[in-house]
Amino acid sequence: MKMTLIIAALINLAVAVVHTFIGEASIVAPLMTSDAPDLVKATLHSAWHMISVVLYLSSLTLFYLSRKEVRDPTVKLLSGYIGIQYVALAMVFAVTSVIYGQFFPQIVMLLPIGVLSLWAAHMARKS
């Protein structure tokens, strides 16, 4: 279970770094130079980095949980919550992919974090 959480945390941290730096440069920066109103651009920029915060905090939480005893109730509670959250986030991109007819690679990055976190919660529940 501990290794499952560490792997999920490492994937999550990689996603956070990619999101923060590569995503900022390739997605947010071009949108910030658009003719959209300043309020729209500021909202987009803020929302983008709200997700950055969620990604980094989730990474830290998964690393923290990997250090806890398997019977600690926070392991199954928090890893289960993060798992549900990440599966739901991946599903947003799955639906968006269908609607727009374009594959969004976020599914491939978010779904493994969710599945690994749910697996860790399941293993913690069994112990």
For 87-127, what is each residue's pLDDT tens digit?
999 999 999 999 999 999 999 999 999 999 999 999 999 88
Nearest to 16 by CA among 44, 45, 50: 50
Q: What is the pLDDT of residue 1?
A: 82
Q: What angle do CA 75, 93, 85 make, to 5 degrees?
A: 15
* Average pLDDT estimate for 77-95: 97
Q: What's the structural domain count of the chain?
A: 1
Measured torsion, CA atoms of residues 117, 118, 121, 126, in degrees rounded to the nearest 10: -140
* pLDDT single digits (tens) 8-48: 999 999 999 999 999 999 999 999 999 999 999 999 999 99
State how far the Cα of 45 lies from the Cα of 39, in Å rounded to an integer: 10
**At a CB cut-off of 8 Å and minimum separation 6, what does 79 contact?**
5, 62, 65, 117, 118, 120, 121, 124
Q: What is the pTM of this model?
A: 0.92
> Domain range holding 45?
2-126
pLDDT of residue 122: 95
Whether the Cβ atoms of residue 15 and residue 116 lie closer than 8 Å to each other: no
d(CA 57, CA 16): 10
